[in-house]
Structure 1
Amino acid sequence: MQNTLLAKYSGAVPRYTSYPTAPHFHEGVDCGIYAQWLGALGEGQKLSLYLHIPYCDRLCWFCACHTKHTLKYEPIANYLESLKKEIVAVGAKIAPGVEVSAVHFGGGSPTMLKPEDMVDLIRALRAAFRFAADVEVSVEMDPNDLDEPRYDALARIGMTRASLGVQDFHPEVQKAINRIQTFEQTKSVVDAVRARGVSSVNCDILYGLPYQTEATLAETVDAILSLKPDRIALFGYAHVPWMKKHQTMIPEAALPGLQERFDQMTFAAERLIAAGYEAVGIDHFALPGDSMAVAARTGQLRRNFQGYTVDDADALIGLGASSIGQLPQGYVQNMPATGEYQRMVDQGGLAAVRGIAVSENDRMRRRVIEEIMCRFRLNFDALRQEFPAGIGAVIEEARQFAASNSDGICEFIDGNFVVTELGRPFARTIAAVFDDYLGNGKGRHSVAV
């Protein structure tokens, strides 16, 4: 039965961190449109800011992020000057009453920044935007970059959440993905940030890596559990060498097969739950008192370009090369190439090159997909209230899919569409049923498990 389900429902589909997804963005959304959207944000609305630092001092071969390798700091320093210009330009277009509730530093490796540059960057943000008193500041961290001055700088910028990519601690796996990082290094980071008052620590684990087995994964999971992080993300390695050429360095013959990937995912998830973590969506786990676990229990969990989130901001503003923003009118992405990004910002302040305006049908289907990804169910009464005009067609699609499905991955309970426990690992595939864009041939995606 399981083999049949894997073969049937683990095909390549989007991760659904947006809808419509990024392959459907187009050049019709440019700096002019973006400026209009920014200007439409009104008094009392909340913002979330994402800052992209597209540099690493080593290139991890599993990574699918927009980043580049550098051992010199000069390119980073020049990039930061342009980034601050974009911050000023974007801030000037937003009404003074709009408040920033969350800031996320991603990459790349934000912890490559010199301590004084970290502090200077948060100072520029505070000068350009109005910050909430309880603003959350999260930072993606590479333990190989960190030292005492950087820890102190992270404390000065008000970091509230530290996010550490671990992947796998086994030496053979680490060598195959070019990510050498010991448990001792990782523990030292967790201890250092907690000593400086950071209230939340997140660790990422990958399954489906080369040479990875359930035994090596068990060692990694148990090591992470010993650190007692507040949240743990359990991601499947996305092998997309057609998009990220450095992934060709990974020996494909050493990658686990589909059944092995599924077994690794199931095994690791069961181990995390047995240790007291609550499952959140398809790939996150959190301690019961963590805000993400609470959001999952109370129906407040959301999904954006960072994956699962408790962020309830009205708009997400992407700053930096390749960054994607989500505004009420639609999505916008900055120029990915760092040199061109800097040229555009230096000349005009903004660097938007593509995006998509969302229709009412897009908003409706985005809500449906988010409900499946976050809550594994569709409450038709609630959807009718939110989308009275068009939801009937989606409800009929859900009924037809459930009626035609004999595998037990979904069912109707009290008149609502529900993804069963058997179907939860395939939530991305089920969500794809409601994707109006998927069949037009744009974009290639990783497997769904």
Structure 2
Amino acid sequence: MKLSVLQKYGEERLPRYTSYPPSPEFSPSVDVDTYATWLSQLPRGAPASLYLHVPFCRSMCWYCGCHTTVTAKDQPIVEYLDLLRSEIQMVAAQAAQPLQVERVHFGGGTPTIIAPADFVALTDLLRDRFALMETAEIAVEIDPRTLTIEMAGALGGAGVGRASLGVQSFDPVVQSAVNRIQSEETTLGAVERLRQSGVSSINFDLIYGLPHQTVRSCIDTAKVAAAMRPDRLAVFGYAHVPSFKKHQRMIEEATLPDSVARMEQSQAIADTLVAAGYVQIGLDHFALPDDDLSRSQATGTLRRNFQGYTTDNCETLVGFGASAIGHTRHGYVQNQVGLGFYAGSVASGRLATARGYRLTDEDRLRAEIIERLMCDFTVDVREVCGRHGFDPAVLLADNRRLAELADEGIIDVAEGIVRVPRDHRFLVRAAVAAFDAYLHRSGRGHSQAA
């Protein structure tokens, strides 16, 4: 890849395209009443996914981009759980019939900050208020540093089948620079406790582009991680947005790698994991060959949502908790972000919806094209437009960014088929942006494309 091309496109601030339109386009015009109507109109028997956000941690990792709060006390967590249970019951009451739930995901923050008995009680409430399928996958995000034997047992007893462990980097220099000290032994101990408790599917999260990170340390981390044999790994580029995440100001910008170094680190991790027997999934995920994610990619049915690449085909996602995002066939909704505002809404007996977005037919068209490019690195624009009843010229004609990318060799365009060559897949978000009608309109910061 030409250095000039990487510098030009790799340093762009672009959405991660886990949704379209991206969340900065959400507005208060989609409110509590809108969401209540959408819930009442959910089709009978349609499968749904649930997401529960637990916005608490015991310490702040300086790279973190999540909505979370540090607390050393348990009382704020107990009070929050009361609100979460109330919201679950309100949402369940709005639906015309019990939702047929295929997936449940606990995110954060640190969901396992909840007391073991409270976690079990929360999953019992979900089973009571919704129709959880016997094959439903329950997944939880975990900080290995705080996972106890008791909590691992509670997760297995509650039916959790998948756990995503934050690893990021095993380099002690990097760990110190981001305020997250986590030894290999700590991580392996968490993995063993989970597997012994019946949580059979393990995911790891790794990050490149962190302060003081090098290609060598990325390779070493990937080798250690692969030796623990997680089923999947997600490898994200650090998004430095200190204007939105104040704690990121603790990171010295001079210690961050540039776009060239970020690409080299990403590629080094990918090469290491592939050599260890993993299949690269889309841009930044990896899975064992017999994993559902690998099979989904092979059959062209890979999807992308707020958790990254997934096999989740549910059209309905119901989000619970402060800042949680959900969607229906009508559009997106997001809860109040601030804990105080969230608490005020739920305590008053109202849904916590703060904003959202009502999808148009053109949004759905662009969303499918963007998703297919992110998942498959190729899309037949004419074919997709035909199914949506649109003239492909709407997307292809006078598309200056598309033409520019083709001239640079980042994409190939022929007879309406857009393809990102293998050696430019690192810049796939730059290609996807050619179909984003909202880019640069909101002025909101995003992460680097590379």
Task: Note whether the superposition's TM-score is higher than 0.5.
Answer: yes
Identity between Structure 1 and Structure 2 (%): 44
Deviation at 1:413, TM superposition (A): 5.4
The answer on 1:198 being equivalent to 2:199 is yes
Amino acid at match of 1:120: A
Q: Which whole-Å deviations, capped at 9, do the CAs of 1:192-216 have from their partners, x for residues lacking one?
A: 1112222311101111111111111
Moved more, 410-419 or 46-55: 410-419
1:3 alignment partner in structure 2: 3
Name structure 2 gaps, 5 residues minimum.
none
Displacement of 1:149: 1.0
- For 1:431 and 1:28, the matched residues in 2 are separated by 27
Amino acid across the alignment from 1:148 = I
Structure 1 distance, partners of 2:287, 2:398, is 33
Q: Which residue of 2 aligns with 1:325?
A: 326
What is the aligned partner in structure 1 of residue 365 from structure 2? 364
Query: What TM-score, normalized to structure 1?
Result: 0.97
- Which piece of structure 1 moves more, 373-382 or 220-229? 373-382
Report the counterpart of residue 13 of structure 1 in structure 2: 14
- The residue aligned with 1:428 is 429
Q: Deviations over 1:313-344 (max 9, x none)?
A: 12111100000111110000000011210110
Q: How many positions carry a matched residue from both structures?
A: 449
2:158 is equivalent to residue 165 of structure 1: no
Task: Name the structure 2 match of 1:405.
Answer: 406
**Structure 1 segments of 4 or more deviating over 4 A?**
397-400
Pairwise CA distance, 1:422? 2.3
Corresponding position: 1:44 with 2:51? no
| More off after superposition, 391-400 vs 353-362 | 391-400
User: CA separation of 1:404/1:29 partners in 2, compared to 1, >3 Å: closer, same or farther?
Assistant: closer
Task: Note if contact 2:346-2:352 (Cα within 8 Å) is conserved in structure 1.
Answer: yes
Q: Distance in 1 between matches of 2:426 and 2:312?
A: 24
Contact in 1 for aligned 2:57/2:69 (Cα 8 Å): yes
1:176 aligns with 2:174: no
Quote how far apart the aligned CAs of 1:399 are.
9.7
| Corresponding residue for residue 79 of structure 2 | 78
Provide the rounded CA distance (Å) in 2 between the counterparts of 1:168 and 1:141.
Answer: 15
Partner of 1:389, secondary structure, is coil
1:165-209 deviation per Cα after TM superposition (whole angstroms, max 9, x unaligned): 101111111111011111101001111111222231110111111
What is the aligned partner in structure 2 of residue 147 from structure 1?
Answer: 148
* Paired residue secondary structure (2:440): helix
State the 1:256 CA deviation.
1.3
- The DSSP-based 3-state class of the residue aligned with 1:439 is coil
User: Could you tell me how far 1:429 is from its partner in structure 2?
Assistant: 0.8
Between 57-66 and 265-274, the greater mean CA deviation after superposition: 265-274
CA contact (8 A) 1:85 1:349 kept: no
Partners of 2:382 and 2:260 in 1: how far apart?
A: 38
Q: 1:336 — aligned with what? A: 337
Task: Confirm whether residue 301 of structure 1 aligns to residue 310 of structure 2.
Answer: no
Match of 1:228 in 2: 229
Contact 1:204–1:233 (Cα < 8 Å) also in 2 = yes
TM-score w.r.t. the length of structure 2 is: 0.97
Deviations 1:6-35 (A, max 9, x none): 112111111111111111111111110000
Corresponding residue SS for 2:65: coil
1:115-135 per-position Cα deviation (integer Å, ceiling 9, x unaligned) = 011011111111111111100
Q: Give distance in 2, aligned partners of 1:105 and 1:441.
A: 30
Residues 1:437 and 1:415: Cα distance change in structure 2 (over 3 Å) = closer
1:315 is aligned to 2:316 = yes
Deviates more, 1:381-390 or 1:264-273: 381-390
Moved more, 342-351 or 58-67: 342-351
More moved, 390-399 vs 413-422: 390-399
Residue 103 of structure 1 aligns to a residue whose secondary structure is strand
Between 1:351-360 and 1:373-382, the stretch displaced more is: 373-382
Q: Would the aligned equivalents of 1:57 and 1:71 in 2 still touch at CA under 8 Å? A: yes
Quote the offset at 1:403 in angstroms. 7.5
